[in-house]
Amino acid sequence: MVGLAGRPVPGDRDRAGGQPGGRGGQHPAVRRRRGRVRHGRLRADRRHRRRAPGHRPLPRPDHAAVRGGCAVRLGILTDGRVVAVDGERVVDVTAVLPGGPTDYPDRAGEVAAYVAGAPSIATRTPTFTAPVAHPRTVLAAPVNYAPHRGELGDRSPEGGRLDARALGLIVLAPGSVVGPDGAIELPDLPGREFHYEGEIAVVIGRPCRGVDRAHAMDHVLGYTGLLDITMRIGPQGQEDRSMRKSFRTFTPIGPVVLTADEVPDPSILRLRLALNGEPRQDGGLDELIVDVPDLVVRAAQLLPLQPGDLIATGTPGGVGAIVPGDRVTLTVDGVGELAMDVRRRSW
């Protein structure tokens, strides 16, 4: 199998650090950060300067986290062009992937050849929209990191007693998905609190249903960043969790999709989230209670999955409140930075 950058996918020995069937030593990208995370808000004079919506820095991969030292990623610009981001190069691949990044699994070789010989179109910072325009299904794994279990105390519907093994999957409204060119819009609901939850999302690349663990990853297109914005329960309401996560703009994704053939072992991927520049969350897929293959198995038992469907893998500890005027920045290894402004909903 050939990756997007034209590199062959390594065999079992490469994946296991030289030991067939094993996981090898811990990858540098998944060593836990030991610095203390501060939870105070930044003063106004320390906040990051705002950029216009959609104008984000070119997504930069964590080179330690992807095979070969660099990764090619797939995205959609706000003008509708499908692009491959290869280091500092941005190549228009719309002619090869007319249906968007979800066309990639059947055209990986064509894309690799095209990217190798095509010039970059980027003359300035590209502006991205959601890398999956209209997912049919969006699922999420609740309480899939041990540090997140019970951190909300009595505001957790299960009181912190259960995790993803028992809770299954949450169904989110596909209409809640928004890209980097949008913003998080909070409804005006007095007394209610809204929280960020940074996650890594699995993007489905091939149709599947009833798949077993041994073949689950064959149906994965890749990975992208996802913010799971949530209205917390309280005295004012005890609504179902799916409803509280499904407001319009409550599922930002992007900026690009890191294809699975660039990351044979997704457990090396990490996420970091900052609120107004202040570190708040740091976690990796190696810490999941239910890992990526089993999440795909569970989702495919629930209903048939189609290309572009999303599975949010869960959030690590450190969730917290957001208010209009905040800026939430999620960085995922190999995917880049998803930076979203928080606003008051205008309707």
Read off the pLDDT of residues 139-189 as tens digits, 9 standing for 90 and up: 999 999 988 676 766 555 566 678 899 999 999 999 999 999 999 999 999
Q: Is the pLDDT of residue 48 over 50?
A: no
Q: 90, 94, 79, 76: which is closest to 124 by C-alpha?
A: 90
Does a structural domain hold residue 22?
no
∠ CA 58-59-63, rounded to 5°? 125
Residue 18's alpha-carbon distances to 13, 267, 325, in angstroms, are 5, 17, 49
- Position 146 scores a pLDDT of 87
**Do residues 257 and 111 make contact, with C-beta atoms less than 8 angstroms apart?**
no
β-strand pairing of 270-275 with 194-196: unpaired
Q: Residue 11: pLDDT band by 50, 70, 90 thresholds? A: very low
| For range 127-141, the mean pLDDT | 96
Q: Is the pLDDT of residue 296 over 50?
A: yes
Does a structural domain hold residue 4?
no
Does a structural domain hold residue 299?
yes
Look at residue 85 and give its three-state secondary structure: strand
Span 26-39, pLDDT tens digits: 333 333 333 333 33
Span 194-236, pLDDT tens digits: 999 999 999 999 999 999 999 999 999 999 999 999 999 877 7
Per-residue burial over 85-124, b = 16 or more CB atoms within 10 Å of its CB, e = otherwise: bbeebbbbbeebbeebbbbbbeebeebbebbeebeeebee
Does a structural domain hold residue 62?
no
Q: Is the pLDDT of residue 122 over 60?
A: yes
- Position 138 scores a pLDDT of 98
Q: Is the pLDDT of residue 305 over 60?
A: yes
10 Å CB burial of residue 172 (0-12, 13-18, 19+) is buried
- Position 159 scores a pLDDT of 61
Residue ranges making up the domain that contains 303: 132-344
Percent share of the chain, pLDDT over 90: 67
Q: Would you state the structure tokens that stand for residue 216, as one six-digit string?
A: 């689950």
Percent share of the chain, pLDDT over 70: 76
Q: How many domains does the chain have?
A: 1
- Position 54 scores a pLDDT of 52
β-strand pairing of 310-312 with 336-344: unpaired
Does a structural domain hold residue 23?
no
∠ CA 53-56-61, rounded to 5°? 150
Q: Is the dihedral of CA 160, 176, 228, 326 positive or negative?
A: negative
Does a structural domain hold residue 218?
yes
Q: Where residue 151 sits, what CATH number does that domain have?
A: 3.90.850.10
Does a structural domain hold residue 268?
yes
Does a structural domain hold residue 219?
yes
- Position 42 scores a pLDDT of 28
